A and B are shown apart, each in its own frame.
Chain A
Amino acid sequence: MDFNFTEEQEMVRDGLSRLVREQYDWETRRAAIESDAGWRPEIWSQLAELGILGMPFSEEDGGFGGGAVDAMVVMEEFGKGLVVEPFVPTVVCAGGFLKHAGTAAQKEEHIGGIVDGSRVFAFAYAEPRGRYDYADLETTAKKDGDGYVLNGHKAVVIGAPWASHLVVTARTGGSRRDREGVSVFVVDKATAGVVTRDYVTVDGRRASEVYFENASIPGDALIGEEGGALPLIEQVTDEAIAAQCAEACGAMKVAHAMTLEYAKQRKQFGVPIASFQVLQHRMVDMYTAYETALSLTYLATLRLGASEKERKRAASAAKVGVGQSARLIGQEAIQIHGGNGVTDEYAIGHYFKRLTIFESEFGDVDHHLKRHVKLA
């Protein structure tokens, strides 16, 4: 048993922590998310230069041979700064599919671009009526000669406005909600018949509704086995869950620290509100919620390579526990900040918003509690 980080991991943490502190300060972030672009490609390039974008890929694929713990370290730091750049869609999700199931040609084609920052991905898996079931797909990919024709509507595709490529789940066989018949494709966003409607999310990121209108894609767009992609999707989304739980932990840590600071300086009835026991105990509960969330994040991260059942149980446990902590910490942080907490001007509200949206990404507390029950 070992809870230590390697020297390299500590270096990555220090580097990112400095980057976030120096270049991702509150005003700069705010200006960036309000700009037309909505993100900072120059930060993305810096992450590439620092080796962060190539971290989880093997050296033979052009990466640096890192693993899940490295991704956790990165995401915690991103969470602290509410970094909006699309690390999870590009590196964790698209990168995960390519790593686990890509052909040599697909890796050659895409991984280099991810590592050097030139290729940005979004992961189009959710559908308007599918909720959190990855197999509940109305999007279809019909065989057409050597390739496929895509039709359907993907919901809330995070990072899609910034992406050059999409990873898309679609049904190539079977019927709605069947475990069989689900496939995964890499699609160039410039493909004819790919229509996007872009918007801002409440937590300051960008997303698109993506419509496929008879979009023709080549046969080599298929990643992995045709019709047999559900286990692969579950593996990759569990990896995304572990990463985003780490991000939530970073955000919770800062939200809690901000709340403590605020309570110490804000006076009412002539004393700092931090001296009220009723608030002290709530801040203690926030702290224990954070620590236990961090423990479950470790568990999910360290179990990503375990048996399917162990991996899923740990990921679901984390999504439940971290989700509950995220809600508690977010809501209590606002309450203790009082009226200031509900203004757009104070940073705390933005942490609250990110933590709120985190809950619904890759399945909410109820969904994962149900999955945990089924895996007993």
Chain B
Amino acid sequence: MNLEFTPEEQAFREEVRAFIAEKYPKHLGDTGMREDLSREDFVAWHKILGEKGWSVPAWPTEYGGTGWTPTQRYIWSEENARVNALMPLPFGVSMVGPVIYTFGSEEQKAQHLPGIRSGEVWWCQGYSEPGAGSDLASLKTTAVRDGDHYVINGQKTWTTLAQYADWGFFLCRTDPDAAKPQEGISFILVDMKTPGVEVKPIKLLDGGYEVNETWLTDVRVPVENLVGQENKGWTYAKFLLAHERSGIAGVARSKRGVEKLREIAANESLDGEPLIDDFDFARKVSQLEIDLAALEITELRTLAGEQAGKGPGPESSILKIKGTEIQQRLTELTMEAVGTYSAPYYGSIQDPGSNEHPIGPDYAHHAAATYFNMRKTSIYGGSNEIQRNIITKMILGL
């Protein structure tokens, strides 16, 4: 046993670091925050990575993956976190891409994989529905076969960044009479420009527009857009969710977040001393660092298992629960560190293009918004309660 990286892995890290330093778009800087970013901002880095052949590192090499080991992928994510890089969106790369190359037809692979690799085509995910929440299988959107088409009707919600999407992948009920709610569901790809698709942004607590309601009214989709077999969509959906959960721990990003927290707390003061020297505050930071260290080693152990040929299993639910709890505590503590200047609403003076400097120190601008935004992490991707249900069943055998 040892925790050291091999000389080859160190060399890889150097290569990655040099590449990021040279190529990461300067204007995106240390943004991290999403609410004022454009579609072009989101895909800028993705396109550069696509040219380099690094946009879909985890895919099999035959579909354009890098062949990196899980450890190399981990190093990759650490190096990106170091500069707080805006990473390719997961909907194409980590979600629908693996479903298409695993279950899709040759035509689907040829049609869709290149655009995901290059970042040209923006995907969104149509899973959640109003009233369904984590009970995903209760979805009501229907797809009815009509000749060479499916006709889709229903409403999806929480469709992340669908306002920019070219394509979406939707779970639809194709057999309303199936014995169990998980059966009779199909996985269908939808061109978002098809008549009858309507996307309506939902304003969130942080003032941003990250998610949408998506209405589907008599949307006619060619049957070729069905992935895999009709009524077997639940299998693909579960496969996708397990992929989504790997990497959700966000360790590298949280490590960077703790560094920033320390910088903020060194700048703020309490009783005339730096806040970070206040024992009550410092101990909360230490506790966070300790929990993060535990998460990091747990993730590395999972990666080592993956390297030995075990796919992302139910253990990834631990990473989801612990990772999101830590992300939430981090944003909470960052807001606490900022103190009074967490109150000004950034959006109220900072219109896009405005030259006026926002109120308070730079690090304060997004503290509250980020805290509000990150409450989503224990809810999305299968709420943390659902993750506990998964562990209950799959690992504890209860």
Q: Which residues of A contact B (CB under 8 A)?
A: 1-5, 69, 260, 263-264, 274-275, 277, 280-281, 283-285, 287-288, 291-293, 295-296, 298-299, 301-303, 314, 317, 320-321, 369-370, 372-373, 376
B388 within 8 A of A: yes
Residue in A263, A274, A284, A376 whose CB lies within 8 Å of B391: A284
Q: Which residues of B contact A284 (CB under 8 A)?
A: 388, 391-392, 396
Taking a contact as CB atoms under 8 Å apart, the answer to whether A1 and B304 are in contact is yes
B379 at interface, CB cutoff 8 A = no
Residues of chain B with a CB closer than 8 A to A369's CB: 283, 286-287, 290
Known contacts: A4-B1, A281-B392, A370-B283. The answer to whether A295 contacts B322 by CB under 8 A is no
Chain B residues, Cβ within 8 Å of A4? 1, 304
What chain B residues lie within 8 Å of A263 (beta carbons)?
398
Query: Can you show 6 pairs from A to B with CB atoms below 8 A apart?
Result: A1-B9, A3-B304, A284-B391, A317-B289, A372-B290, A373-B286
Interface centre among B3, B301, B398 (most CB of A within 10 A): B398
Q: Given A295-B294, A321-B294, are A302 and B2 neighbors across the interface (CB < 8 Å)? A: yes
Contacts of B282 in A (CB 8 A): 373, 376
Q: Are A295 and B298 in contact (CB under 8 A)?
A: yes
In whole Å, how far is A271's beta carbon from the nearest beta carbon of chain B?
12
Residues A280 and B298 in contact in the complex (CB < 8 Å), given A292-B291, A321-B291, A372-B286: no
Query: In chain B, residues 345-398, which have Cβ atoms closer than 8 Å to a Cβ of chain A?
Result: 385, 388-389, 391-392, 395-398
Most-contacted residue by chain A among B2, B296, B298, B396 (CB, 10 A): B396
Q: Compute how far the CA of A3 lies from the CA of B295 in the bound complex, rounded to whole angstroms.
A: 15
Give A3 to B321 CA distance when docked, in angstroms. 23
Contact of B385 among A281, A301, A373 (CB under 8 A): A281
Q: Name A's interface SS.
A: helix
B297 part of interface (Cβ distance < 8 Å): yes
Give the A-B pair count, Cβ closer than 8 A. Answer: 118
B71 within 8 A of A: yes
Interface SS of chain B: helix, strand, loop or mixed?
A: helix
Residues of A within 8 A of B287 (CB): 320, 369
Q: Tell me, in angstroms, the Cα distance from A9 to B391 when the chains sit together.
A: 29
Is the Cβ of B295 less than 8 Å from the Cβ of A292? yes
A376 to B266, CA, bound (A): 12
Specify the chain A residue showing the minimal Cβ separation from B1: A69
Q: Across the interface, name the chain A residue whose C-beta is closest to B385.
A: A281
Q: Do residues B298 and A302 form an inter-chain contact, with CB atoms below 8 A?
A: no
Complex CA gap A135/B397 in Å reads 49
The reply to whether B301 and A3 form a contact with Cβ atoms under 8 Å apart is yes
Query: With A2-B2, A3-B304, A302-B2 in contact, do A287 and B395 touch (Cβ < 8 Å)?
Result: yes
At the interface, yes or no: B237 with Cβ under 8 Å from chain A? no
**Which A residues are CB-close (under 8 A) to B315?**
291
Q: B4: CB under 8 A from chain A? A: yes
B386 nearest CB across to chain A (Å): 11
Q: Which residues of A contact B293 (CB under 8 A)?
A: 295-296, 299, 314, 317, 321
* Bound CA–CA A69/B298 (angstroms): 17
CB of B294 within 8 A of CB of A293, answer: yes
Q: Which of A3, A5, A283, A320 contacts B398 (CB 8 A)?
A: A283
Q: Could you say which of B318, B385, B398 contacts A291, with CB atoms under 8 Å apart?
A: B318
**A283 CB contact (under 8 Å) in B279, B285, B392:** B392
**Residue ID in chain B nearest A325 by CB atoms:** B294
Contact A287 B304 (CB under 8 A): no
| B19 contacts the other chain (CB 8 A) | no
Q: Is B103 an interface residue (CB 8 A)?
A: no
Specify the chain B residue showing the minimal Cβ separation from A68: B1
User: B residues 101-132 with Cβ under 8 Å of A?
Assistant: none
Q: Which of B4, B279, B297 contacts A298 (CB 8 A)?
A: B297
A3 to B71, CA, bound (A): 12
Question: Is B304 a contact partner of A291 (Cβ separation < 8 A)?
Answer: no
Closest to B397 in A: A260
**Is B5 close to A, CB under 8 A?**
yes
- The yes or no answer to B300 lying at the interface (CB within 8 A) is yes
